[in-house]
A = this chain, B = another copy of it.
């Protein structure tokens, strides 16, 4: 039995306010997951994340598999214990990084062969090994391995890729289900030669909808992925270069076809406006490096729009980055100081900017959850479109 379940508590149009229950606690949706690539959200501590109200973080399987190794993390009791974070964790399948980061990658039916960007060592990631690795990490949500389609791609190319993704989804799910029943038989934690195979028996597995920008393929992807049956469904292959309008259209269509009682996760998205527009279209979960990466580049998200802290105009500006903001950074530091830290290449610059941007993102999600309950989503939407014009 998985401890994973999802309850929609309110709806407003296509938007949903819900509660996701995982082995490591509940997550209020719609939710934004900060990205902790290597088992740490860059420039902040776990204490900072808790103070910010982060209820779930994402970690990258590809990175952790290569270093320090999923075996090692399993022997250390799993990812939660390893990184000192006892709230929910979602791990990706590793596929996206194999497609974007690894060297000399070749994809066969069996899986993807690649060389580590760290030391050139050769590895094979298969639908089954993606399950095994995430079982060792013990995240609360594991993602199935999919093939990442480039943009633009022809209909033929997109169909072939989708068909492989569907075959991989079936293999990944079968392997996951077999492992889960095996783990139930063997007292929740399977050990093979001293190597723990599963560090979180309540782990859920999400399927991924692909199909590029082709409506018929997205439809087929939903039908066949839902037929395989996962705890929930993610929309992949968006925010890869397609026009924003197309991304919203695919999101809108796809969420309409997805089962209403399962969470919907839009992978790798996005800007504040993307969050608002996608929530309005029925998305429940997001992850994106934008708030954390932009913070390190001195780009702040504020209630008055984007702010580039290195601009000369802030050299003697005593006001906080965002006068409307209640984050630690805005309550204590001026734009002049933040600019100084950035220009002086102080690590504290990355920390203070990241605290602010994550607060902005998490606060956006709080507003959206509230707006769904009080049916004021349209106001939030107009406000964000005004603050962040296209």
Q: Which A residues are closer than 8 A to B by beta carbons?
A: 38-47, 63, 67-68, 72, 75-77, 82-84, 315-316, 318, 328, 332-334, 336-337, 339-341, 343-344, 346-348, 350-352
Kindly list chain B residues whose C-beta atoms are within 8 Å of the C-beta of A336: 68, 72, 76, 82
Kindly list chain B residues whose C-beta atoms are within 8 Å of the C-beta of A334: 76, 82, 84
B344 touches A347 (CB 8 A): no
Listed by A's residue number, 20 A-B pairs whose Cβ atoms lie within 8 Å are: A38-B341, A39-B337, A39-B341, A40-B346, A40-B348, A42-B346, A42-B348, A44-B348, A45-B328, A46-B332, A47-B328, A63-B344, A68-B336, A72-B315, A82-B337, A84-B333, A84-B334, A84-B337, A347-B351, A351-B351
Least Cβ distance of A42 to chain B in Å? 6
Kindly list chain B residues whose C-beta atoms are within 8 Å of the C-beta of A46: 332
With CB as the reference atom, state the residue of chain B lying closest to A354.
Answer: B347
Known A-B contacts A47-B328, A82-B334, A315-B68; the reply to A38 vs B344 at CB < 8 A is: yes
Provide the bound-state CA to CA distance between A152 and B9, in Å: 76
A347 touches B43 (CB 8 A): yes
Least Cβ distance of A129 to chain B in Å? 21
Least Cβ distance of A302 to chain B in Å? 18
7 additional contacts (CB under 8 A) given A72-B315, A82-B334, A347-B350: A43-B347, A43-B351, A47-B332, A68-B343, A72-B316, A75-B316, A76-B316
B76 touches A352 (CB 8 A): no
Known A-B contacts A318-B77, A347-B350; the reply to A340 vs B43 at CB < 8 A is: no
A348 touches B43 (CB 8 A): yes
Kindly list chain B residues whose C-beta atoms are within 8 Å of the C-beta of A76: 316, 318, 334, 336
Least Cβ distance of A339 to chain B in Å? 8
B38 touches A346 (CB 8 A): yes
Provide the bound-state CA to CA distance between A316 and B73, in Å: 8
Least Cβ distance of A101 to chain B in Å? 14
Provide the bound-state CA to CA distance between A63 and B345, in Å: 13
Least Cβ distance of A67 to chain B in Å? 6
Provide the bound-state CA to CA distance between A340 and B70, in Å: 12
Least Cβ distance of A72 to chain B in Å? 6
Kindly list chain B residues whose C-beta atoms are within 8 Å of the C-beta of A75: 316
A340 touches B77 (CB 8 A): no
A67 touches B348 (CB 8 A): no
Known A-B contacts A40-B341, A68-B336, A84-B333; the reply to A352 vs B45 at CB < 8 A is: yes
Kindly list chain B residues whose C-beta atoms are within 8 Å of the C-beta of A68: 315, 336, 339-340, 343
Known A-B contacts A83-B337, A316-B75, A337-B39; the reply to A343 vs B47 at CB < 8 A is: no
Provide the bound-state CA to CA distance between A75 and B46, in Å: 36
Least Cβ distance of A346 to chain B in Å? 5
Least Cβ distance of A234 to chain B in Å? 26
Least Cβ distance of A386 to chain B in Å? 31
Least Cβ distance of A57 to chain B in Å? 13
With CB as the reference atom, state the residue of chain B lying closest to A355.
Answer: B45
Kindly list chain B residues whose C-beta atoms are within 8 Å of the C-beta of A41: 348
Provide the bound-state CA to CA distance between A340 and B67, in Å: 8
Least Cβ distance of A69 to chain B in Å? 9
Least Cβ distance of A205 to chain B in Å? 26
Known A-B contacts A75-B316, A318-B77; the reply to A343 vs B84 at CB < 8 A is: no
> Considering the complex of A and B, which 6 residue pairs feature the smallest CB-CB distances, nearest first?
A84-B332, A40-B348, A38-B344, A43-B347, A68-B340, A40-B346
